[in-house]
Amino acid sequence: MSKPVKKSEMACNSPKRTPSHPTKSHVVKACKDGKEKIVRFGQQGGEGAGKNPKTEKDKARQKSYYARHNAQDANPDKMSARYWSHKVKW
């Protein structure tokens, strides 16, 4: 059984892995303009292709990920899972 996440004990905007969570791989306390929010993101067991994918397969995975998650938006909201997933995993 995993230990519950306490928002008061987490640092702002510092993502952490959650290996014992059943579905999400990371958690972060997103802080912006005096607001705080717990955001869980990422597929448990899944890996991103990285910032500079080398193989054609990884390039295709990255392209599909960006298409699915509206990555062309220049200013994603820091309070969203999309922002953190793109920053940490991709």
**Taking the model in full, what pTM does it have?**
0.77
Distance, in Å, from the CA atom of 72 to the CA atom of 10, rounded to the nearest integer, reads: 30
pLDDT in tens, the chain (90 residues): 556 778 888 999 999 998 888 999 999 999 999 999 999 998 887 777 777 888 999 889 888 888 887 766 767 788 988 888 888 887
